Structure 1
Amino acid sequence: MYDLTGFQRDLLYVIGGLDDPHGLALKAELEGYYDTEIHHGRLYPNLDTLVDKGLVEKLQMDRRTNLYKLTARGQREIDARREWEQQYLRDTLSAA
């Protein structure tokens, strides 16, 4: 996950947290978090990158809508990242 942008990492987390992770749902979630409009030209190329890296699977829901699901590798990457983050959060909390 070290080679992902922050936006791509955020996409992974949102995909993993939604029941129906299609493009517009992902866009809405990220717009709420970033408090700004997420353009299609930013969203979909980043989703394609995650697919190309084997972290996300792109499935067809209907003729116009794709679903995005974490692959097993994508889930492992999130789990490893959270473990890494917790190590530093614990150190910060115990120093306070």
Structure 2
Amino acid sequence: MAGGSYVLDCEALSRAALGDPQMKALLKDAHRAGVRVVSSSMTLIEAYHGRIRLAEWNWAMSRIATVGLCFPLIEPSLDLTSLSLRRSQLGI
């Protein structure tokens, strides 16, 4: 695998699933070059909407690795009081 990764936000993911030629080309080129393309599981929720056809969504998803959120990585940017509350609500 080549070095580096592409990390897609909800706009880029939505554009890919809507068939935007530039985003589709970027995903194809990354796939050919062995560049890892990732997006977070939360971004998938943000990006999917009613204008996206399932076939296009599935094609985009076949090119992207989905990664979960990791509390140790995001914790410094969150208010610790609200984080503690969320953790207790989630049972973690």
Do the two structures share a fold, i.e. TM-score over 0.5? no
For CA contacts below 8 A with separation 6 or more, give which structure has more relative contact order.
Answer: 2
| Rg comparison, structure with higher value | 2
Taking structure 2 as the reference length, the TM-score comes to 0.28
